[in-house]
Amino acid sequence: MRIGMFLSYAGGFRDAAAEVAELERAGVDLVVVPEVYSFDAVSQLGFLAARTSRMTLMSGILQLYTRTPSLTAMTAAGLDYVSEGRFELGIGASGPQVIEGFHGVPYDAPLGRMREIVDVCRMVWRRERVVHEGRNYTIPLAAGRGTGLGKPLKLINEPVRERIPITIASLGPKSVEQTAEIAEGWLPMFFHPERAADVWGASLEAGRARRAPELGALDVFASPALAITDRPELIEAAIAAVKPNLALYIGGMGARGKNFYNDLIASYGFAAEAERIQDLYLDGRRDEAVAAVPDELVRAISLIGSPAEVAERVDAFARAGVTTLNATPLGRDADERLALMAGLRRIVG
């Protein structure tokens, strides 16, 4: 099982980059750079490529709607080049609040766009000729058979690899099924080991049934908060620290009836709690929404507790099919985060 961590997208990037170099020396396999309504991920990944030598660097995630498929392919090839073959492309649809509200782009056809972007990336990396024949439809054409919309072109540079691993962030049944069919990796949010099969098992099975053998086994990510401690007061503080982010996603990432994360938590058996959190959050009672997040939910999706308790939860994630633990260490500073990730490395082995 690989271990990795999300890089904070809120300020202090140069300090975070220095921290990543220490994490690499401590045996962390992967660092994931988010891109929300923050600094872009690409410039930061390029910076990290120059500061690291072994660990994998991944975008987590580049949105489907903010770059053309070909530009995404070019960007991934460039990051793979400057990192000498250590880049993984994490992509996802994001949500209407970010795509329409922040970027001003219609949030439409996520499944069609996802399949297109994966197909185009692999064509570009193989240096096949690409021409776009209208929205959400891209096919390779022989030279000289243009449609009037453009000339078939291929990437000028020789990529380091013609198959850069693609990890897709997905939650809904159809999107998870497609992910299991076409991607190297799957990045869900708020992975609950004991409930994951009930929510996603059928979709994963259907997608894997159509999966090409050359893709290999699906790399399944989980992104738990991490706090390894025997002290009850620190465990309680760690649980409390996780709740604001959960409340934000369950309550605030979308309107009523259009919140993927609320639907997910409800499907885990917390329907009444998810509804209450959303009602409180959308009514502006955010502190109450945070307080309404159940401790049971936080513990289920996190790695919080004594070394023995964390080891038990690591085993639970492994039994549920997780192959990459992409943790968020709940340390107060770089030294504490480094100690937590080193502790997770010892537990995972």
pLDDT for res 1: 97
pLDDT for res 146: 45
Residue 21 structure tokens = 């170099």
Report how far residue 155's alpha carbon sits from residue 150's, in angstroms, rounded to the nearest whole number.
15
Task: Enumerate residues 6+ apart whose C-beta is below 8 A from 29.
Answer: 2, 3, 4, 55, 56, 324
pTM over 0.85: yes
C-alpha separations of 214 from 120, 163, 181, 203 in Å: 17, 10, 11, 20
Residue 106 structure tokens = 């219609």
By CB atoms closer than 10 A (0-12, 13-18, 19+), residue 66 is middle
User: What CATH number belongs to 2-225+321-348?
Assistant: 3.20.20.30
Nearest to 290 by CA among 303, 300, 280: 280
Task: Enumerate residues 6+ apart whose C-beta is below 8 A from 128.
Answer: 140, 154
Nearest to 7 by CA among 66, 56, 50, 76: 56
DSSP state of 153: B
SS3 assignment, position 277: helix
DSSP state of 82: H
Domain residue limits, the chain: 2-225+321-348, 231-305
SS3 assignment, position 63: strand
Report how far residue 59's alpha carbon sits from residue 89's, in angstroms, rounded to the nearest whole number.
6
Report how far residue 50's alpha carbon sits from residue 57's, in angstroms, rounded to the nearest whole number.
11
pLDDT for res 126: 96
One-letter amino acid for residue 65 of the chain:
Y
Residue 153 structure tokens = 């072109």
Nearest to 191 by CA among 341, 320, 31: 320
Task: Enumerate residues 6+ apart whose C-beta is below 8 A from 156.
Answer: none
pLDDT for res 37: 84
Report how far residue 255's alpha carbon sits from residue 90's, in angstroms, rounded to the nearest whole number.
26
The CA R_g of the chain, rounded to the nearest whole Å, is: 20
Report how far residue 116's alpha carbon sits from residue 22's, in angstroms, rounded to the nearest whole number.
38
- Per-run averaged pLDDT (10 residues), the chain, 349 residues: 87 81 95 90 95 96 93 98 98 89 91 93 94 57 47 92 97 97 98 98 98 97 98 98 97 89 96 98 98 98 98 98 97 94 97
